[in-house]
């Protein structure tokens, strides 16, 4: 069976879009729509994968956040879940996301829970989202948990965008420096080397280094590409190894310059997830479990297991947090205050908001130090190349005098 995306018109002349997965041709689709009282306006056949679904591209987390907001609003307004999913499926702009929502709607229609239907697409719906949906279904607060999920996803997307925007300039400078150096080594240095060879000028150490590097870039560029590709594949393979991944995660939290920022980011993800899950009635132990999954850090997973044991033994949340330097003082203070007044999730949520502002300040402070450092390094590299290129010329002119 083929998959068709179509535009149709109802009896009142209203236009709407949809996806049909069980027809062989456009004429069959037209007949099916005629039976329902609709008139086919336009149809487009899509590609299929092994399951007969239309292939799309990558689904953005901003699309998932918008979906969660709409779903929450429609469900809170009293619409049935299937009707919500059907409407949102028709409104989806992304072909990939429309395909996923079709699958979710069909699974829910055959009796699956929302959490089970969404869980089939873990690459799109995060563990946090699945946990919130499950909590909403069990506790009868689906509209509330969906809206909280949307807020969480929106904040995560905003934070990532801020980090990308902040580090865009250093990345551009680094790429430009690499491009300039490669150009000089590939096209400029060979001209000088040929000239010096013709006039038989002795070349000093820096010039010999440049000539050697130029030869590598010009004649062994394919080997450099192979080495880079193999290195990337090797790193990816190593990251799949549990022992190496654990050491790498621990290094990220303690690395020079960026260690503090990484600890703050991990703490923000962890505590926001815990606070939101706790606020909708999920137990402290299960909330910690889900928060450690969302944090994606082996060290945090170890800390979580230790905290769970301490809390089960009667320790408070704030006392457990104090044992680990990964959690900033503002989070520990908010946790302590929240436990005193019986508002732990709310106070932790406010603490995370303050932490996010601190993250922005740390990023700005890093950029203040990073940008001039990169400029200085780039200047030193270019100066070394120019020095190596022109030193023999100065020596030659000195001999002429």
Contact 339, 318 (CB under 8 A): yes
| Mean pLDDT, the chain, integer | 82
Q: What's the pLDDT score for residue 252?
A: 87
52 band by pLDDT with thresholds 50, 70 and 90? very low
CA-CA-CA-CA torsion sign (248, 253, 255, 261): positive
Q: What's the pLDDT score for residue 51?
A: 42
CA atoms of 341 and 382, how far apart (whole Å)? 61
Q: What's the pLDDT score for residue 229?
A: 93
Q: What is the mean pLDDT of residues 243-265?
A: 87
245 band by pLDDT with thresholds 50, 70 and 90? confident
CA atoms of 274 and 288, how far apart (whole Å)? 6
Domain 167-401 -> CATH class: mainly alpha
Decide if pLDDT at 19 tops 70: no
pLDDT digit string (tens) for 117-142? 888 787 788 878 888 888 888 878 88
User: Percent of the chain scored above 70 by pLDDT?
Assistant: 88
Between 5 and 86, the more confident residue is 86
pLDDT digit string (tens) for 362-385? 888 888 888 788 888 888 888 888
Between 135 and 230, the more confident residue is 230
Q: What's the pLDDT score for residue 16?
A: 64
Decide if pLDDT at 15 tops 70: no
Q: What's the pLDDT score for residue 55?
A: 41
DSSP code for 78: T
Decide if pLDDT at 95 tops 90: no
Decide if pLDDT at 35 tops 70: no
54 band by pLDDT with thresholds 50, 70 and 90? very low
Kind of pairing between the strands at 15-23 and 39-46? unpaired
Decide if pLDDT at 53 tops 50: no
Q: What's the pLDDT score for residue 230?
A: 93
CATH of domain 61-155: 1.20.81.30
Q: pTM of the predicted model, to two decimals? A: 0.68
Q: What's the pLDDT score for residue 261?
A: 87
Segment among 177-181, 188-192, 201-205 with least mean pLDDT: 201-205
Residue with tokens 């908010």: 334
Q: What is the mean pLDDT of residues 235-254?
A: 85
Q: What is the mean pLDDT of residues 320-338?
A: 89
pLDDT digit string (tens) for 259-316? 888 899 899 889 988 888 888 878 888 888 888 888 888 888 889 999 999 888 888 8
CA-CA-CA-CA torsion sign (163, 169, 175, 181): negative
Determine if residue 345 is left, alpha or beta; phi over 0 gives left, psi from -120 to 50 gives alpha, anything else beta: alpha
User: Percent of the chain scored above 90 by pLDDT?
Assistant: 3
Q: What's the pLDDT score for residue 1?
A: 46
Segment among 26-40, 118-132, 180-194, 310-324 with least mean pLDDT: 26-40
């Amino acid at each position: 069976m083929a998959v068709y995306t179509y535009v149709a018109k109802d009896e009142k002349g209203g236009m709407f879009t949809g996806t049909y997965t069980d027809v062989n041709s456009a004429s069959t689709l037209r007949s099916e729509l005629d039976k329902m009282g609709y008139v086919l306006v336009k149809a487009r056949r899509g590609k299929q994968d092994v399951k007969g679904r239309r292939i799309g591209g990558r689904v953005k987390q901003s699309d998932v956040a918008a979906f969660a907001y709409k779903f929450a609003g429609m469900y809170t307004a009293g619409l049935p879940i299937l009707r919500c999913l059907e409407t949102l499926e028709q409104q989806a702009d992304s072909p990939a996301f429309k395909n996923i929502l079709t699958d979710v709607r069909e699974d829910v229609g055959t009796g699956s829970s929302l959490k089970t239907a969404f869980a089939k697409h873990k690459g799109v719906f995060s563990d946090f989202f699945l946990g919130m949906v499950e909590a909403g279904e069990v506790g009868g607060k689906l509209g509330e948990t969906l809206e909280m999920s949307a807020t969480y996803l929106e904040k995560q997307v905003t934070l990532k965008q801020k980090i990308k925007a902040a580090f865009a300039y250093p990345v551009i400078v680094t790429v430009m420096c690499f491009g300039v150096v490669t150009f000089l080594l590939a096209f400029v240095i060979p001209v000088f080397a040929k000239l010096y060879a013709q006039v038989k000028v002795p070349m000093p150490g820096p010039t010999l280094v440049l000539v050697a590097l130029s030869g590598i870039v010009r004649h062994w560029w394919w080997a450099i590409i192979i080495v880079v590709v193999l290195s990337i594949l090797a790193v990816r393979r190593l990251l799949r190894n549990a022992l190496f991944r654990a050491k790498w995660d621990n290094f990220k939290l303690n690395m020079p310059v960026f260690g503090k920022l990484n600890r703050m980011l991990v703490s923000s993800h962890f505590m926001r997830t815990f606070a939101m899950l706790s606020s909708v009635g999920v137990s402290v132990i299960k909330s910690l479990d889900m928060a450690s999954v969302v944090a994606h850090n082996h060290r945090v997973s170890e800390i979580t297991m230790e905290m769970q044991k301490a809390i089960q033994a009667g320790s408070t949340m704030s006392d457990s947090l104090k044992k680990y330097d990964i959690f900033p003082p503002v989070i520990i203070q908010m946790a302590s205050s929240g436990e005193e007044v019986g508002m732990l999730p709310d106070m932790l949520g406010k603490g995370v908001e303050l932490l996010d502002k601190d993250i922005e300040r740390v990023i700005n402070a890093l950029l203040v130090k990073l940008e001039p450092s990169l400029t200085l390094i780039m200047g030193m590299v270019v100066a070394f190349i120019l020095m190596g290129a022109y030193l023999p010329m100065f020596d030659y002119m000195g001999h002429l005098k």
